[in-house]
Structure 1
Amino acid sequence: MPIPNHLALGLAALCATLAGCSTPPAAPPASEATVMAHLAAAQQAAGTEYPEYLNLCKPAPLKRPDAGSVDLAGLIARPAPPPGAAFDNLIYVGSAWVSAWALKTSDGLVLIDALNTVDEVERLIVPGLASQGLAPADIRTVLVTHGHGDHYGGAERLRALAGATPPRLVMSALDWTMTETQLEFASPIWPAPPRRNPARDLAARDGDLLRQGDTTVQLHVTPGHTLGTISPVFEVRAGGRTHKALVWGGTSFNFGRDLSRLDAYIAAADRMREIARREQIDVLLSNHPANDLTVKRLAALRANPAMANPFVIGNAGVLRTLTVISECAKANRDRFALMP
């Protein structure tokens, strides 16, 4: 599916404003040797400690997959993990396949992603919040990391459950445009995308700050997985210590042989690595729990609440993981470039 002109122009304008999209030093021409070099760099960065994202190094699909080719019903039906606190102010209320993180502030919750469906809201998010003494009415903001149905599907239901004060929805300006015009992926399983209320909802741009109570969330637009993927950064607390967390907002290469899209993805990963280095980010989360071992790590915390928090991988771990993501993207870019 080609990128609509208005979205392509939006991506170009976005890249013009981001340091990460500036022209990088000339890379050697794509070859089998450069592919192997990127794969080796990814493997070295992963080591034995951070292998989760190495799946990205597998050859990406040549064509954009159709949503109907994915067993969404089967993924949604997988038994969900128990909800739980990854940090004192960050609660997992997601499924086995897709994440929903509730960030506690002094003025209610910021919910990061809204799962697939109305049923998941009522079956997972609502009871998950209740297990922590919280309710949908506590949600002041729903931050949708990108405009795919597995992340916005429950948003309208959450607004309805909130009562007289529905939460504002936050999505990037580019992804609001995509969901309001031409969806990249559609499935009858997913509800229609949420409708933006310009008076209340936020069309975020790179560098915007989302302030709620005592909490500030940095909104970094990291194009690639979608043109307007948001990767938020915020503080989390555990054991009397404060850490800085990054949620990598969109992971897979689900757009086929699109070199400009891969270049944007690479630039975003490299830029976020530099931001992580500068800000000493030491927690890297995902909106799909397989990528950050959410289920395993929550189970470990339940079994031993006094243990060192397994979500804290240190700044070096974050930098190495972002290197894996970038190098796998570069390997796939060079594979595509070699094709006739």
Structure 2
Amino acid sequence: MPTGGVRFLDNAWYFGTDHTGLVIVRTPDGLIMLDALTTPDDMRTQFLDQATAAGLDPGDIRYVFLGHHHVDHVGGANLIRDEYAPTAKFVMEQPDAAVIAAQRADLWERRHEYTEEEFRARLARLPGRIDIGIEAYPGHTVGMKRIRIGRRTTAVAMLAPGHTDGQMHVIVPVVHQGETHKLLVWSGNDNIEMAAQYAVSADFVQGLAGQEGADSFINTHAYQVPPTAISARSRPTRQRPTPC
């Protein structure tokens, strides 16, 4: 990535690599971070060391949305909370937040199996606290929650299982060429073992994105394309993206 990341909208940047990244959106109420890279070192070199060149202050981060529990989406979260934005709120889907909690508990129980350095490195990559959990609607597998970032900014977080049991996508307000738009940030793609649920979730997100007026899209795995776009092109067979 170029120094300062890739600014793809007036107030939105992509940092990371062409495989895994995070998205930063600057709002009137502070910065929103979506996903948190793979390790604290990645967070430092791929975002924190680049932030100044983009005109961004990590201390302005107000909310961090973690799209699912895989380490390449959460590994740098603790560094942000511990050293840069201690008051930031961390948002995750309830099913995957439970996975992270179980992983931390298991790591503590098996601490004797690792050197102190290995234990600390593994623990650092598992978020220590989730402040806001997104739950499914009663009797359903999907859900949605509006989150007030500040007086002038609201995000829409959607629980949409498929890649994991608690995959989450987020709609955030953005600006392009001076005009207000809404950006859908997608976190990870597909899981052949959950294909039926993935289809349900993709339809749910597509419908809600239309209702909310989302008109732009990015995946934090930058090489992947929108599943809803693929399904639209391939109807009636409704093919889905290649698993990753």
**TM-score, normalising length from structure 2?**
0.78
1:223 paired with 2:161, answer yes
For 2:45 and 2:125, the matched residues in 1 are separated by: 19
For 1:173 and 1:93, the matched residues in 2 are separated by: 26
Maintained 8 Å contact 1:81/1:96 = no
Maintained 8 Å contact 1:114/1:144 = yes
The number of residue pairs the alignment matches comes to: 217
Amino acid at match of 2:91: V
Instruction: Work out the percentage of aligned pairs sharing the same amino acid.
Output: 28
1:212 paired with 2:212, answer no
Maintained 8 Å contact 2:185/2:217 = yes
For 2:45 and 2:178, the matched residues in 1 are separated by: 32
Q: How does 1:90-105 map onto structure 2 within 5 Å?
A: 90-105=12-27
Q: Which one is further off, 320-329 or 96-105?
A: 320-329
Maintained 8 Å contact 1:243/1:283 = yes
Maintained 8 Å contact 2:38/2:74 = yes
Q: Which has the higher helix share?
A: 1
Amino acid at match of 2:90: L
Give structure 2 stretches of 5+ with no counterpart.
108-117, 136-142
2:89 corresponds, among 160, 165, 168, to 168
Maintained 8 Å contact 1:224/1:250 = no
Q: How does 1:1-340 map onto structure 2 within 5 Å?
A: 80-82=1-3, 83-162=5-84, 165-181=86-102, 191-196=124-129, 201-205=131-135, 206-213=143-150, 214-253=152-191, 258=193, 261-292=194-225, 320-323=229-232, 327-329=238-240
Larger radius of gyration: 1
Maintained 8 Å contact 2:231/2:239 = no
After superposition, the Cα gap between the structure-2 partners of 1:144 and 1:210, relative to the gap in structure 1 and judged at 3 Å, is same
For 1:171 and 1:277, the matched residues in 2 are separated by: 23
Maintained 8 Å contact 2:190/2:242 = no
The Cα of 1:330 is off from its aligned counterpart by 9.7
For 2:234 and 2:57, the matched residues in 1 are separated by: 35
- Give the corresponding residue for 2:112: none
